[in-house]
Structure 1
C-alpha cells in the first residue's frame, strides 16, 4: 500500500536549517489577501523508514563500438566498485550493468519504473559513460538523458511520487576546458491528498557543469567526482543533508584535483560538478547512513 503522505513525514523540530517552507501562506480570494497556516508546514524531511531503502542501478560503460569513435574508459570499473560498496552499505539493493547499449539502458530503467515501489524509500541511478550536452552514450550510440530520467516522473511512476529520485552522472557534457583562476581566499498519518509537479523530487548530480568535458579517468583512482562523492557520503552522512554533502563534493573536486598532462592544452585544468535539485523537502542523509 502506498504511503498516504507521498513519502513525507513530520519532523520533531523546526530550525533555520530546514527547507524553504513557511508556516503560513498568502491566499488571494475575492481581492482580499489572507495570511493562513500552511497545511504543509509539518513536512520537513522525506520518509526513509519504508521496509526497503530502494534500488541503486549502476550503468558502467567502458568499451565502445568503433562506430561511436569513443575510447575505452579505463578506471570506470573502480568508480562502479566504489559506488556499489557505498550504496550497498547504505542499505540499497545494488545492480551493476556493464557495457550496455542504448536500448539496454532504456529498457532496464523502463522496467524498473514500471515496478511497484510502494515499500521503497528512494531510487538511485548512476550513469558512468561518455557523454555530450544532454546526452549519454551507450556502447553503440547516444541517447538523451531526459529520455531516461522522465521514466520516473510522477505521472509515469506512481509508486515513487513524493520520494527522492537521485541520478549521479559521470560523463562529459562538451569539449571546452576550464583553466581555473587564482584566488587569495581560501510524518504523521494523514488521509489528505495534494498535487505536486510531475518533475518534483528529482536530483541530478553531474560530474561537470554544462559544456565542459569531465576529467580523463585514472586507471588507478577512477574519476574525481565519484571518488569525492563516495568519500563525502562516508565522512558527512551522519551530520549533513544530501545537498550539503554534494556541496562538499563540489568543494573537494574544485580544490583538490587538477589535471596533469604532457600536452599543454590538457595540463593544469580544473573541474567542478553541477547539482540540479528538484527535491521538494529536505533529504536527510543521516537516514541513508544507518549501516555506515
Structure 2
C-alpha cells in the first residue's frame, strides 16, 4: 500500500480529475464507492488520492479508470500510451472496480433521458420527492436507492421491476448475467479457501488427533420409515433452485415458495432459448453442488411438445431432453445420488412459423384433466430425477393478472406439505385434484400435467 503519494502521482491525479466532465466525474465517484453529490474537481481529487493510497498498484488503478471512461485522450496525454497499448496488457475495469458498480455505470450509459424519467416515476413512492427532483441521471437514482438500502449488489429487485415496466428486457438480461456471475464467484471462494487450507496443512507437522464419533440426531415426529427409505435434506441451504421466467408471470411466487423451503434461489427472467441453455450450463458446472443435498429447476416459458422457446419464439428453441440431461450424474457429478427436481410450466404457442411441425399439437387432443399415465418410453432412465411438466394454451397469457393454476397448486401443496409431512409424490396427487377441479369448471382453459420420476427414495420437503 502506498502511504505517501509522490509528486508525479499527484500530478497524474490532478491531470485526470481536471480533464473530466461533470458526468464523468459522477461516474468516477460512483465507481470509487462514493455516494456524495459533490462532483467538484477538488472532491474528485480527494477521492482519487484516497483510493490510490489503498490500491496496491496506483498506476493500474488510474489507467483502468481512464480506460473505463473511454477517455483515450487522457491516457495518451498523461501516460503517453494509446488504447491498444493498454488493451494488450489485458487491463479491464472489472478487475479493479466492483462488478456491481461497473454494471450500474454501463446500464446508465444505455438509458435514454426518457427511460430515466420513466424510472423516476416508477420509484416515486420510494425516493423522497425533493431528492428525486435533484436526480438527473440513472446513477443519481441508483445512489439514492443505495442510501435508502433499497438496492445493493445482492438486491436488485426494484431495478429489475423498473426495467421490465419500461420494456428494457435487454437490461434485465444484463442483470441476470450479473446474478449468475456473482453466484459462480460465491461458489468458487470456499473452494479456493479450502485449497489454501489444505496447502497450509501440508506444510505443518502432522499431529496425532483423537477421533470423536458423534451419533446422528434422532428426528422427532411421525415415523416415515428407516433412513435408507428417504433422501436426506439436512444442508442449509438445501440446494440451488434456479427459476427461469420467460413470460413474466409467477416467477416471484416460486421464488418465495422455494426460499421458504430453504433453497438458495436464483431468479432469471426474459431469457432467449440460447440464454437459457447458457445459464443452465453455467449452473450445472458449479462445483459447489457437492455441498448441498438437492437441486431444483423451474421454467415458465412458451413452447411445443418437446421444446421451449424462451423470448425468441421464432428463432431458436431448447430441447426439454437437453435440460434434463445437463443435470444427470454423467453430466453433473456433484449432483449424483441427490434428488433433482424439475417443474415446467409450458404455454403452447398457437403457431411456430412457416416450418411449424404438426406433431407439436398431438397433446391438444387430450380431453381429460390430468394425464397421470406414465409410458415407459418417456420415463427418464437417469436416477434421482423428479419431472413435473404442465402445459396449457398460450392464450391464457392474454388474461389480465394471469397466474398459472399449476404453479399456484404447486406452491399451495408444498406449503401444506411443510405442516403435514407429505412426500413430493403425494404433493402431486393433491395438485392433480386441484387441476382436475379447475378443468371441470373451465373446459376451455384446461391444464395438462405429466409427472414421472426415477426417485429411489421418498422425498419430503418440509
Q: TM-score range by the shorter chain?
A: 0.5 to 0.7
Q: Structure 1 residues 236 and 50, CA, compared in 2 at 3 Å: closer, same or farther?
A: closer
CA distance in 1, matches of 2:454, 2:270: 30
Find out whether 1:54 has 2:239 as its counterpart.
Answer: yes
Residue of structure 2 aligned with 1:201, choices 381, 384, 393: 384
> Which structure has the highest helix share of the two?
2
Superposed counterparts of 1:257-272, under 5 Å: 257=439, 268-272=444-448
Q: Tell me what 1:38 maps to.
A: none
How far the C-alpha of 1:121 sits from its partner, in A, is: 1.4
CA distance in 2, matches of 1:230, 1:221: 16
Q: Tell me what 1:279 maps to.
A: 455
Residue of structure 2 aligned with 1:243, choices 425, 441, 450: 425
Contact 2:272 2:311 in 1 (8 A): yes
Superposed counterparts of 1:65-214, under 5 Å: 76-77=248-249, 79-116=250-287, 117-140=289-312, 141-172=316-347, 174-175=360-361, 176=364, 178-180=366-368, 199-208=382-391, 213=393
Q: Structure 1 residues 180 and 156, CA, compared in 2 at 3 Å: closer, same or farther?
A: closer
Q: Tell me what 1:233 maps to.
A: 414
How far the C-alpha of 1:215 sits from its partner, in A, is: 7.3
CA distance in 1, matches of 2:279, 2:347: 22
Contact 1:114 1:157 in 2 (8 A): yes
Other structure's SS at 2:396 match: coil
Q: Tell me what 2:86 maps to.
A: none
Q: Structure 1 residues 12 and 113, CA, compared in 2 at 3 Å: closer, same or farther?
A: same
How far the C-alpha of 1:270 sits from its partner, in A, is: 3.2
How far the C-alpha of 1:216 sits from its partner, in A, is: 1.7
How many residue pairs match? The answer is: 218
How far the C-alpha of 1:12 sits from its partner, in A, is: 7.8
Q: Tell me what 2:31 maps to.
A: none
Large movers: runs of 4+ above 6 Å: 9-13
* Structure 1 alignment gaps of length 5 or more: 2-8, 19-40, 63-75, 182-196, 261-266, 287-292
* Structure 2 alignment gaps of length 5 or more: 1-190, 192-215, 349-359, 370-379
Q: Tell me what 2:396 maps to.
A: 216
CA distance in 2, matches of 1:44, 1:274: 25
Deviations 1:164-189 (A, max 9, x none): 111100004643254459xxxxxxxx
Deviations 1:210-265 (A, max 9, x none): xx7477234324111011100111123332101100111111011134575xxxxx
Q: Tell me what 1:254 maps to.
A: 436
Other structure's SS at 2:388 match: strand
CA distance in 2, matches of 1:55, 1:269: 33
> Which structure has the highest strand share of the two?
1
TM (normalized to structure 1)? 0.66
Contact 1:162 1:201 in 2 (8 A): yes
Other structure's SS at 2:229 match: strand
Other structure's SS at 1:48 match: coil
Deviations 1:117-173 (A, max 9, x none): 111111111110011111111212212011121111101211111111111000046
Q: Structure 1 residues 256 and 55, CA, compared in 2 at 3 Å: closer, same or farther?
A: same
Q: Structure 1 residues 255 and 47, CA, compared in 2 at 3 Å: closer, same or farther?
A: same
Q: Which fold has the larger relative contact order, with Cα–Cα distance below 8 Å and residues 6 or more apart in sequence? A: 1
How far the C-alpha of 1:268 sits from its partner, in A, is: 3.8
RMSD: 3.0
